[in-house]
Structure 1
Amino acid sequence: MTARERVRHALSHSEPDRVPIDLGGMGSTNIMAIAYNRLKVFLGIRGGTTRLYDWGQQLCEPESWAMERFHLDVVSLSRSLSPVSDPERTREFESRFGGKWKPWVLPDGSLCEAEESFNPEPDGNGGWQMRNERGVWAVMPKSALYFDGGPANHPLDYARSVADLGDWKPGYANEGSYKAAAEKAQWLHENTDFAIMAGFGGGALEPAQGLRGWGQFMEDLAGDPDLADEIIGRLTDANVHNVKLFMEMVGPYLDLVQMGDDLGTQAGPQMSPAMYHRFIHPAHKAVYQTAKKTAPNVAIFLHSCGGIRPLLPDLIDEGVEALNPVQTNAVGMEPAGLKRDFGEKLTFWGGGAEVAGVLTYGTPDEVRAQVRERIRIFAPGGGFVFCQVHNIQANVPPENIVATYEAAYEFGRYPVS
């Protein structure tokens, strides 16, 4: 069974030969570059390329050796390194889709490559900052390991009414916007057996919070629903237009399209289910169902952090088929209950090992035990793709990373006992 077939079986809630495994299929199932470099040292892997494809989260792309060693089944359309080790295909892929990169030094002093366009400036205190026309919009203080939003990160923070928005609207794509993505997706589809996931976004809450500021947009929802509706409406109009074009051009070569909107906190949803249903649910439904109608064979994958169990019925109604990160240490996200109550409708993409728990602070044997138990709960009947809960952080011991993925391969064979 190929990797692509394996993932499609899981998504259709049937049991493949083994549980599919993901590391690096999207920006929340990945590994920080510092942890990746330490993993390579631990395994005695010399050379190669640690490529920082997400500078904000400091994430890198798993190289072909990692795809093979850890039996990975999913690739991200955003990758620039060949996922296969075959020299001829590697040369072709990287000559066509490799992009331009430069040397960069990570916060721990180890080396990587960063995009040529990545040009942070020193902040004067030993850290880094990024500027745009409004000022500093991303910061990495001296002691930090990632970039966070800066003071100029909320371009609609000035608005006090719908009229203040003026003619502002989000970006609308054209065919040229997705031409390169379509060509890369076609190459990966025709030259590899991996399941292919493309990031789209399609959010309403998180983008609106980015435009207004987190606290301000929550106040808008509660106190100025007209302004909140207008911002969400304009975002949704653009998302519907863009996702239709994206799926027309790129969808024929994809297995999953990744939507994203962080709806939860550690203690539960950011808002009541009623408020979610009133403001956000219609926006999500319009985008996800447009995507599905345009490319019916592509699964709708949603990344949404936190304790979002009360929102799952609405997400299922919207057309969500795969849920990530399955934040099992958040309120209401107990694995057995999720599988029992929603396992026939959702594929759980994550929840395989706690990054904020045993993966970071446990022993390899404790990691193996948790992986085995999570597979026992989530895997029966399909509907499960293994990965850890969110990205592998810089301080995760390399021996625990190895234990995680070796255990997933060992214990994930069907029938699961």
Structure 2
Amino acid sequence: MALATPNTNHQFEEKAASDIMQPVGLNIKFHAWMGLLTLVLMACLYAYYTQLRDGLSVTGLRDYVNWGMYIANFVFFVAASLIGMLISGVLGLLGFQWIKPIARIAEIIAVAFAAVAGLVIVSDMGRPDRLPFVFLYGRVQSPILWDVTVVTTYLVLSLMLYYVPLLPDLAIGKTRMNQSHGWLAKIYDILSLNWKHYPEQYNILHKAVRILLILIVPTAFAIHTVTSWLFAVNPRAGWDSTIFGPYFLTGAFVAGCAALIIAMYFFRSNYKLHRYITPEHFDKMGKLLVLTSIIYLYFNINEFLVPGYKLKEADAIHLHELFSGHYAPLFWGTQILGLILPLILLLFKPMRKPLPVLIISFFVLAGAWAKRYIIVVPTMEHPYLPKQYVPDEWMLYQPTLTETAITVGSIVLVLMIITILAKLFPVIPIWEIEEKPNQTSNQTNETS
């Protein structure tokens, strides 16, 4: 009879709960970081106030280029949010156990980016007071109505996928709060919904999570497919493509993987979670980034090879602008530094260790944002109708300081949401980390 096993398992549970709950709570570093973000956000909100007061004339948007940095940022945010579905939905439903310590981090990223994506669209509107008209008078034929609907649905499902698996940890955490965090213990008590760790509760929890995972997979596919249709239903050169749906999806997985790797490294280092987020997790995420990048590279080749082969007049102008014209430095920098070079480096195992893969992920994420900018802006600078009798500044798009500040403000909001969720609640699911030792213990006892 293996009498020592239950005691060892209990020690593991105590150690895991203590380690994961230790960073929870508001400390001086949190206040300093949030204070800095708040100051930056206030400056960005003033920029938005200026835009609201004076109109979109304070931006670089004009009659020809009426989609610019804002829409590129929106597409990027939607893309990054899909990491929650990829990790929890696809890999979770396939039964990969290694994702357990990082699944909640992926959901935090999904919630933050999806929540702010809607606000980014509002920043692109000259009359945000007319936003309710989209719901009141929206036409079913319009991809814009589909986009608003599916983004909202994805946000709700992501919130539920974050909150429902959090219930057991809330019950664990409320008993570990000291007197200085009494208010947080009350929040945990309310949000835990009287969770008592009964087997029946866990059965319901597993079924509920599985249903949510099944629902979020088609929703996530729809969210970026519909976003791609906002471009693809237009006959403009550079957008008139039938592959934009899968092309946007694979690009989203690349951006999401890079964002998750960066978050993993931060939480592992700053929250002292080396025992739970291991080099093996970075290695596997690096391999996942390689896989998604290969597929994304395939779609990138298709995006330019087919129109380049046919070389219609409008396509020729567009491709020339990208390959050797005004946008060539940004285009080639994005393709080489943001996709091809990271893909090659990550094929080697030393490059998939925590620090190297972190640096590579920064380049991939920056390239992902720049790629959305390249998709949006150059196409709009070359309409079919000739540009006549308009000022020179109307012909080319140049983001203004106000526009840039508002874009930075949306990124700050994402960081604030991630920071708040990560400091109020454990970033690693305690009860799921303990499941494996519990199963091992049960198997050992049965064998004994």
Tell me the TM-score normalised to structure 2 length: 0.28
Rg (Cα) greater in structure: 2
Q: Where is the strand percentage greater, Structure 1 or Structure 2? A: 1
Q: Where is the helix percentage greater, Structure 1 or Structure 2? A: 2
